[in-house]
Amino acid sequence: MIRLRQYLRKIMYIISVMALFCIVVTDAQAGKINNLRIGQGIGTVRVVFESDSDFDYKVFTLNEPNRLVVDVKGVEVSQNISKNKDENIFLENIRVGSSGVNGIRIAFDLKQPVLVKKTFILPPQSGFNWRFAIDLEATNERDFFAKLGSANSQSSDSFNRDDILPKNNAVPQKKTPTQQSKRKIIVIDAGHGGVDPGAIGYKGTYEKKITFFMAKELKEELDKNSKYKVYLTRNRDLFIPLRDRVKIARKYDADLFISIHADSAKNRKAKGLSVYTLSETASDKEAEALAEKENKADIVAGLNFADHTKEVSDILLSLAQRETNNSSSEFANILSSEMSKIVKTVSNTHRFAGFAVLKAPDVPSVLLELGYLSNPDEEKLLRQEKYRKKLAKATVKAVNKFFQDPKH
């Protein structure tokens, strides 16, 4: 017994000496990024890190707050680089922290949306050390959103060597069990915005305002549950083309997409809430007319949606779409039943039509029409925060029920 203990102690000693040796060796090999320069061009910015060795890198953008992220491996980073004060139009507040195993993250806050145009590393020459350059250019909010996240990174070849899945895989993937236990991602889309006011109510209420308030209030309610991660397609009064709203949902890898709208009709008496899902054939004339109206948002803003119908109809053919439609319908039914407990809903509350905004092939998506702004009573109700909160709470109940089913 004693001999065994002595033996184990000896092994532990050998292991700890070896571990120490490894740390020393790694340390001796690791180079250091010890300088940062930021150069301003015309509408562009070049960021240059100087290092005394080569290293692996990954560069991408994130939002909330908007930032440029540079992950590096196999190199140390001097905290001095965060003191850089080079004048430029894009970057401010540099932070250096750790990121995963052996990784260091350098983050820059963005003053405006940018795209990573190019990254490259130059070996030592002409008295310079190793240099790693990132070229940035200005972009609009829409393209910035479309390129968010590490899946759109520019990186050294070996940075992702441990990744099993190919990068930028366009085929919708089945969620693995580990992903299923993660937080559910919900994207809420406030209909219309910017130059497109949507429907205009009996007393002049803009649909885009009601949808925006409701989206924020719904996010607030959903945020109370730590199992959900909630994003909005727009955080302010902004025009976003319909296909880009779909892209945003896919970009976030959403588990559920809820597009919020409010209806209007010539008949002032028309009222009630309804829930729509995507279908190639509309459930009735009214649904068809509504889809046509909502799809016009892009035309209002001077974009021709017709150019994209081919692309969208191709996607529609995929099997993923059919599976997604089943999930969308399930959620729409749950939502309709929760809503009908608390407010006036239209008959056959869950309806079908060809809404462009519901065409993400792999994201269960519904369109919620809160009621008729053309009806003076409903317009008045929809303007009240208390009423919208009630709708938000019922929606949360439906979301909870939907995700209780392990297949979602």
Closest separation between CB of residue 294 and Zn ion, Å?
A: 5
Q: In this chain, which of 208, 219, 261, 388 binds Zn ion, going by CB under 5 A?
A: 261
Which CB atom, from 135 or from 189, has the smaller least distance to Zn ion? 189
The nearer residue to Zn ion, 191 or 371, going by C-beta atoms, is 191
Cis? peptide before 65, omega within 30° of 0: yes
Cα(243)–Cα(314) distance, integer angstroms: 14
Q: Minimum distance between the CB of residue 369 and Zn ion, rounded to whole angstroms?
A: 7
Q: CA 55, CA 32: separation in Å to the nearest integer?
A: 9
Q: Where are the beta strands (DSSP E) in 80-227?
A: 91-98, 103-110, 114-122, 130-138, 154-155, 184-190
How many residues belong to the site for Zn ion (CB under 5 A)? 4
- Span near Zn ion by CB under 5 A; candidates 83-91, 225-233, 260-268, 360-368: 260-268
Rounded distance, CA 213 to CA 200, Å?
16
Options 113-121, 125-133, 191-199, 232-240: segment touching Zn ion (CB under 5 A)? 191-199
Report the DSSP pairing between strands 75-77 and 154-155.
unpaired
Q: How far is the CB of 296 from Zn ion (least distance, A)?
A: 9
CB of 196 to Zn ion, least distance (A): 9
CA 354, CA 278: separation in Å to the nearest integer? 5
- CA distance linking residue 90 with residue 405, whole number of Å: 45
Q: Binding Zn ion by CB under 5 A: which of 193, 198, 201, 241?
A: 198
Q: Residue 108 CB, nearest distance to Zn ion (Å)? A: 37
Give the residue with the Cβ less far from Zn ion, 115 or 300: 300
Smaller CB distance to Zn ion: residue 243 or 261?
A: 261
CA distances from residue 175 to 21, 181, 377, 408 in whole angstroms, order as listed: 41, 10, 44, 9
Q: Which residue is nearest to Zn ion (CB)?
A: 261
CB of 288 to Zn ion, least distance (A): 15
Q: How far is the CB of 297 from Zn ion (least distance, A)?
A: 7
Q: What is the smallest separation between the CB atom of 282 and Zn ion, expressed in angstroms?
A: 16
Segment near Zn ion (CB under 5 A); pick from 40-48, 55-63, 245-253, 258-266: 258-266
Q: What are phi and psi of 129, to 5 degrees?
A: -80, -170
Cβ 377 vs Cβ 224: under 8 Å: no
Q: Which is nearer to Zn ion, 172 or 191 (CB)?
A: 191
Could you say whether residue 241 binds Zn ion (CB under 5 A)?
no
CA 355 to chain centre: 21
Q: Which is nearer to Zn ion, 129 or 328 (CB)?
A: 328
Question: Per-residue x/- mask for Zn ion, residues 156 to 175, rule CB under 5 A?
Answer: --------------------
Binding mask 281-300 for Zn ion (x = CB under 5 A): -------------x------
Those residues whose C-beta lies under 8 Å from the C-beta of residue 377, and which sit 6 or more positions away, are: 271
Longest CA–CA separation in the chain, Å: 94
Interaction of residue 245 with Zn ion, rule CB under 5 A: no
- Closer CB to Zn ion, 88 or 349, in the complex: 349
Q: Decide if residue 191 touches Zn ion (CB under 5 A).
A: yes
Indicate the residue among 74 and 198 with the shorter CB distance to Zn ion: 198
What is d(CA 301, CA 263) in angstroms, rounded to the nearest whole number? 19
C-beta of 191 vs 364, nearer to Zn ion: 191
| CB 95 to Zn ion: min, Å | 40
Question: What phi-psi label fits residue 209: left (phi over 0), alpha (psi between -120 and 50 degrees) or beta?
Answer: alpha
**Nearer to Zn ion among residue 47 and residue 262 (C-beta):** 262
Supply the minimum distance, in Å, between the C-beta of residue 210 and Zn ion: 10
CB atoms within 10 A of CB 106: 23
Paired tokens of 194: 């910017």
Cα distances (Å, whole numbers) of residue 160 to 54, 168, 187, 315: 16, 13, 28, 30
Interface contacts to Zn ion, rule CB under 5 A: 191, 198, 261, 294
